[in-house]
Structure 1
Amino acid sequence: MAQATPDLTRAAIERLVRESIYKQLGKQVPAGNEAPNPLVVNVSARHCHLSPEAVEKLFGPGHQLTPMKWLYQEGQYAAQESVTLVGPRSRVISNLRILGPCRPLNQVELAFTDAIALGYDIPVRQSGDIEGTPGCMLMGPKGFLELDKGVIRAAPHVHMAPEDAAHYGVKQGDFMKMRVGGDLGVTFDRIFVRVSDSFKLEVHIDTDEGNACRLGPQSQVELVK
């Protein structure tokens, strides 16, 4: 595969690819209505977010998370550290990845099939909305942490910058639709909108949702108001 030259920006490369595809299809490139940034859809596997105090309790005094893989959103990463989750009836998930950096609250995000395997009945919630949710026990190499709440199934959501929100005509807290094409194509009706200057345009769905629509690199995806 040919390497892009350093003089071409990502946006320029994407524009050239779009023009090439439309040319092959014998169609005109739509004028004046191009999104300012490319849409990325990622499947978010089960993971947890922890406070600095929780990390120290699980991994020892003074311990800090070590980045293993940087994620699409600026400054976010999958840490080298993982924990064991103990759910109802002592059922466990080992190697539950921690995502960094640390947050003020502790939250575990599972897919529906994860919850079934553990014996949970977990609600679909926006990140940070953990009141009235089930708890669990987390075990690390230096200790354990009992949470009285914080286990959720994360609602599908989209991160976007203000320029993206302006393009789509939405604001923080709105809902959008996401159409996924293909043999198992589906439409998600409630994609929650999050807007911040620090965000890049990215939709997060969980593993169950990604598998249900057979999301892959070749999937055609459209975000609509």
Structure 2
Amino acid sequence: MNSLDLIVEKVLKKIEEARYIPLEASARHVHLSSQHVDTLFGSEYLLKKSRDLSQPGQYLCSERVDLIGPKDIIKNVAILGPARRKTQIEVSQTDCMTLGINAPLRLSGNLEGAETLFIRYNGKIIEAPESTIVAKRHIHMTPDDGIRFGVMDKQIVKIRVHSQRPLIFEDVIVRIVESSRLAMHIDYDEANACGFTEGVLGEIIHAQEVYHGIFEQG
């Protein structure tokens, strides 16, 4: 292969890569409010960062909590930082069955009428009213990514997942924020359905209407 062929191959590879979006599977987790951090861990307690997450400014904390529902308890649940204005708990449909709740399918930040759970840490228990949702699948991207993919903030798209169990996810919300890093977030029910493994990619195959709901970064 001569140098011209190598250049063409590299260009074609870049064009091909530009079509794809990396997938990330998000396990059950809790975003605590500052008030609930103080109640569970002590006044003015600062959650300890374990590692940064893919989205800038967000991180996994070293501390873990238990979720208490009407039917059962899920232990050792991750806390994500930083603290938020209101506590938010994100679980899967399978988790809902375990806990005995019927959490609504929502985007992050849309908590009106959400389910209530109790959170336990080291013997302390707090109630988290209207806190618990099943997160809608969504894509984080920057404005430049939006231009590249030809989509707008809050637009609904279909994604073809290229994996050992390929499928098409509908009703995926685009979330365009300057500080984002390109990634599609799914929960573990969805990850198992599509045979998710590290490095699996998705491809936008259809863009639909714009979503008119409430959400915040997360």
TM-score (structure 2 length as normaliser): 0.84
1:137 aligns with 2:118: yes
Q: How does 1:74-93 map to 2 (within 5 A)?
A: 74-89=56-71, 91-93=72-74
The aligned residue for residue 124 of structure 1 is: 105
Q: Could you say which structure has the greater relative contact order, defined with CA pairs below 8 angstroms and 6 or more residues apart?
A: 2
**Over 4 Å off, 4+ runs:** 30-34
1:209 corresponds to which letter in structure 2? E
1:171 aligns with 2:159: no
**2:12 counterpart SS class:** coil
Structure 2 residue runs of 5 or longer lacking an equivalent are 208-218
Q: Deviations over 1:101-153 (max 9, x none)?
A: 11111110001111111111111100011111110111112632101211110
Instruction: Measure the CA separation in 2 of the matches of 1:59 and 1:78.
Output: 16
Contact 1:35 1:164 in 2 (8 A): no
Contact 2:22 2:199 in 1 (8 A): no
The aligned residue for residue 11 of structure 1 is: none
The aligned residue for residue 12 of structure 2 is: 29
Which of the pair is proportionally richer in strand? 2
Q: How does 1:129-208 map to 2 (within 5 A)?
A: 129-141=110-122, 143-208=124-189
Inter-CA distance 57–205: structure 2 relative to 1 (3 Å threshold)? same
Contact 2:21 2:201 in 1 (8 A): no
Q: Deviations over 1:60-100 (max 9, x none)?
A: 112111111211111111100111111013x1111111000
Inter-CA distance 86–104: structure 2 relative to 1 (3 Å threshold)? same
Displacement of 1:214: 0.4
Inter-CA distance 33–94: structure 2 relative to 1 (3 Å threshold)? closer
Inter-CA distance 81–218: structure 2 relative to 1 (3 Å threshold)? closer
**Residue 45 of structure 2 is aligned with which of 50, 63, 67?**
63
Contact 2:114 2:132 in 1 (8 A): yes
Inter-CA distance 218–127: structure 2 relative to 1 (3 Å threshold)? closer
Inter-CA distance 218–56: structure 2 relative to 1 (3 Å threshold)? closer
Displacement of 1:182: 3.5
Inter-CA distance 220–149: structure 2 relative to 1 (3 Å threshold)? closer
Contact 1:58 1:142 in 2 (8 A): no
Contact 1:86 1:138 in 2 (8 A): yes
Report how many residues are paired.
Answer: 201
Structure 1 residue runs of 5 or longer lacking an equivalent are 1-18
Q: How does 1:82-121 map to 2 (within 5 A)?
A: 82-89=64-71, 91-121=72-102
* Percent identical: 35
Contact 1:92 1:118 in 2 (8 A): yes
2:25 corresponds to which letter in structure 1? V
Inter-CA distance 32–143: structure 2 relative to 1 (3 Å threshold)? closer
Displacement of 1:35: 3.0
TM-score (structure 1 length as normaliser): 0.82
Displacement of 1:217: 2.9
The aligned residue for residue 40 of structure 1 is: 22
Over aligned residues, Cα RMSD in angstroms? 2.4
